[in-house]
Amino acid sequence: MTDQRANDSGTSRRDFLTATVTLAGGMALASVARPARATPDTMQAAIREVVGEAAIRKGKVKIDVPPLVENGNTVPITISVDSPMTAADHVKSIHLFNEKNPQPNVIGVHLGPRAGKAQFSTRIKLAAAQTIIAVAQLSDGSFWSDDADVIVTIAACVEDLQ
Amino acid sequence: MTARALINVPPKARRGEIVEIKTLIAHPMETGYRVGLGGELIPRDIITTFTCTYNGEEIFRADFARAIAANPFLSFFTTATATGTIAFQWSGDNGFSATEQAPITVE
């Protein structure tokens, strides 16, 4: 009887230790795997990947986003480009980048003269108050951009799971 | 895998009119950066591409990154050229694929 009880308690101690080690291992893994935030440098690199060596001029593009958002998990955003959208002169693509999310890319859209209007809306996640940049490529090969500052009070990516 | 999608395409348009198309699809858009209850990272599960075709011709395509909010919403425009079908296709991680279509009558 006494032996049996000792055995039981031994088993549970082993279980407890195994669980502790697993948990600690998991936490260590999480802290190692937790990504570095995108920095203005990584954002610039992501922009260069799309644009190449071409010059980016400011203008034509307009980002419409609330300057102060409460919830970074869904930030409504509209991007429009001033373009006649004809076969000769239209917007080919619009890319959106951010500074401080874990990844610098947000969305890239491809359109053409059939769109009639170079504008789209979506909802994005923002991990912190930061600057976002939209870059549009026109059919003549030129690139135009706009940036916007957004202040986020509740950041995306850090919420607790239910 | 089936996903619920909401599509808003005007049923009728005049020829040459610029119409707005709105789409919304149910999807968690798990970023791969969140940590679960056991301390492990929840693997990435996102929609990566969205394509819209008008009578078979591609009119709009989007590449989503992880920064797109859950239940991705998109609104964009097209010129109504002919009566026909506007088709939508989403695809993403873990073999996710969904299609939807809407008719449009052009007068």
| Beta strand residue intervals within chain A, DSSP E | 56-58, 61-64, 68-71, 75-81, 91-98, 105-111, 119-124, 130-138, 143-154
Reported as a pLDDT band with limits 50, 70 and 90, residue B70 is very high
Give the mean pLDDT of A42-54: 90
Reported as a pLDDT band with limits 50, 70 and 90, residue A152 is very high
Report the mean per-residue pLDDT for chain A. Answer: 82
Do the Cβ atoms of A105 and B39 come within 8 Å? Answer: no
Reported as a pLDDT band with limits 50, 70 and 90, residue A146 is very high
Reported as a pLDDT band with limits 50, 70 and 90, residue A158 is low
Give the mean pLDDT of A102-116: 93
In DSSP terms, which residues pair with B23 in a beta bridge? B7, B74
pLDDT at A31: 44
pLDDT at B39: 86
Name which of A29, A105, A117 is nearest B18 (Cβ-Cβ).
Answer: A117
Chain B hits for A26, CB-CB cut-off 8 Å, are: 38-40
Nearest CA in chain B to A117: B77
pLDDT at B99: 95
Chain B hits for A106, CB-CB cut-off 8 Å, are: 65, 67-68
State pTM to two decimals: 0.81
Chain B hits for A155, CB-CB cut-off 8 Å, are: none
Nearest CA in chain A to B62: A109
Answer yes or no: is pLDDT of A6 > 90: no
Chain B interface, best mutation among A114, A132, A137, A154, by max B CB count within 10 A: A114
pLDDT at A24: 56
Query: For residue B61, which of B28, B27, B88 has the smallest C-alpha distance?
Result: B88
Give the mean pLDDT of B58-83: 95
pLDDT at A60: 93
